[in-house]
Chain A
Amino acid sequence: MPFDRELLKGSIALLILKLLSERDMYGYEIIQESVRRSQDAFEFKEGTLYPALHQLHKRGYLRSEWRTGENGKQRKYYSLTATGKKAARRSQQEWFSFTKVVNAILSKANS
């Protein structure tokens, strides 16, 4: 089922922070990983990932560095800063609380 674009847009920062809290990744890898974990359900225009990464970098949540991979290709790897780690935890908690509330409302409405 395709998700609403605004919904995806709103959650992209959370997904980036969460994935990067596990390991350093480059843009294409972030996309691959989110598609894999969502079992292909999570699809968004990949170009829009980069402005989101730059926004988080500007806020001081991410640091980046160019690294050369095994195939000789240069990739820009992103990793979380200390502030980014805090933001990742906070965003995740916020998301769980939010979805809990929304679920409670929806289940009440459905019952």
Chain B
Amino acid sequence: MTHPDRIVSQVILLAKLPGNKRRCEVEKELRAHLDDLAEEARSQGYDHEASARIVRTRFGEPEEVAAAFASVYAAERLLKLIFQSVILVTVSTVAVVLVIGTLQSIAAIFTATSIMSNLRDIHREVFGFAAIVAGYCSLYAGERLFPTSRARALLPSITLGLSLAALFGWLIPQHVALPLAAFACAATGRLLQRVEIPFVWFAGTALPLLMAWALFGPLIPGWRFPWLVWLGLTISCKALREIVGLFERVFVEQFAETGGQS
């Protein structure tokens, strides 16, 4: 990588410009400027080393240029982030509803109860669905916000978990245990999905459920298949993992890895 390439890559990497087209355009523009600077220095008789130094000095610190670009495009970046988050949460919620709805339908077939009556009541589980998506996505958001610190990556989950506990405690004080357990299961599931031991994340979805059970008793009174709750959570976590993977491939731009060489 040449010296101008390094400067341009650093600017592109740090500026986090929204959109590939814009990044390529800025890259091309800065590159042309640095080439002109280098050419000017060479025409004045400076050798390669000296001209590289002159280019660097005249261009300024890449961090400073990147910060200025970042502030110019801050609003676009925020809008894009909000749009992407809405898509992720919507698709995740639909996936969780489908997974749990399907499981409940299968359970209804095996217990010879009406599938329709089961599904008619699915809206009552809205807090549970929201909690699963919130638990999983908040941990993913933490990983994106604090990629270098695992402890800090937990912050959004902890904050959201406490807020949801307060909200559910106020809205549905009698049924607060299940959605909170679901939140914890999804977050722990996501956390353990990053451990490179196969199936260890199954424990992530089971542990909070068992703890809630031990503390509060049966989470769904009178239900004959409590393990189905765990199965629903586990399959939901698997589906959410796939969705987050797809989201990363489609939306999360690759400039961080390629240093703007896309």
Contact = CB atoms under 8 A, between A and B. Distances in A.
Given A45-B59, A55-B72, A74-B32, A50 B64 contact: no
B30 A51 contact: no
Interface in A31-63: 45-48, 50-52, 54-55, 58
Interface string A10-29: 00000000000000001110
Interface residue SS majority, chain B: helix
A6 B151 CA distance: 39
A47 B72 contact: no
Interface residues of A, number: 17
A50 B7 CA distance: 14
A90 to B, nearest CB: 21
A46 B59 contact: yes
B165 interface: no
Contacts of A27: 29, 32-33
A51 B68 contact: yes
Contacts of B213: none
B69 A54 contact: yes
B37, B58, B65, B68, most chain A CB atoms within 10 A = B68
A58 B73 CA distance: 9
B29 A50 contact: yes
A47 B34 CA distance: 9
Contacts of A51: 65, 68-69, 71-72
Contacts of A58: 72
Contact of B37 (A28, A52, A75, A76): A28
Interface in B112-141: none
B59 A47 contact: yes
Contact of B30 (A45, A50, A52, A73): A50
B60 interface: yes
Interface of B: 11, 25-26, 28-30, 32-33, 35-37, 58-62, 64-65, 68-69, 71-73
Q: Which 5 A-B pairs have the closest CB atoms?
A: A45-B60, A51-B68, A47-B65, A47-B60, A28-B36
19 contacts: A27-B29, A27-B32, A45-B58, A45-B61, A45-B65, A46-B59, A47-B60, A47-B62, A50-B65, A51-B68, A51-B69, A51-B71, A51-B72, A52-B68, A54-B26, A58-B72, A73-B32, A73-B35, A74-B32
